[in-house]
Amino acid sequence: MTLYPEVLHLDNVLPVARNEAELERWESLDPLLDALIADPELDVATLVEDEILLSIPVVPMHAEGECDPDGLALMGET
């Protein structure tokens, strides 16, 4: 296994509705809205962790022009 550094730049806004009616109103205005209902038992640390995990690429990615399809850099043959 080879480790690779991954820099994440997250700028997410997650609206928090006071109740179900407010959430439904927002969703009627914007069906793609990603929001949740305020809950005193909301685990904010888990919510942040989930947002970070969802932002990580499924596979390692490289910058444009830095593709090494044969993996030569990993084998020290560049």
Place of tokens 């084998």: 75
Range of the domain at 21: 15-39
Task: Please tell me the distance from the alpha carbon of residue 48 to that of residue 8, in angstroms, as a whole number.
Answer: 13
List per-residue pLDDT tens for the chain, 78 residues long: 777 677 888 888 889 999 999 999 999 999 999 999 999 999 999 999 998 998 887 876 677 777 766 665 666 655
Task: Establish if 55 belongs to a structural domain.
Answer: no
Place of tokens 């009616």: 21
Task: Please tell me the distance from the alpha carbon of residue 49 to that of residue 72, in angstroms, as a whole number.
Answer: 34
pTM of the model: 0.57
Task: Establish if 57 belongs to a structural domain.
Answer: no
What stretches of the chain show up as alpha helix (H) in DSSP?
A: 20-29, 44-55
Are 34 and 17 in contact by the 8 Å Cβ rule? The answer is: no
Task: Establish if 25 belongs to a structural domain.
Answer: yes
Question: Count of domains in the chain?
Answer: 1
Task: Establish if 21 belongs to a structural domain.
Answer: yes
The one-character DSSP state at 11 is -
Task: Establish if 73 belongs to a structural domain.
Answer: no
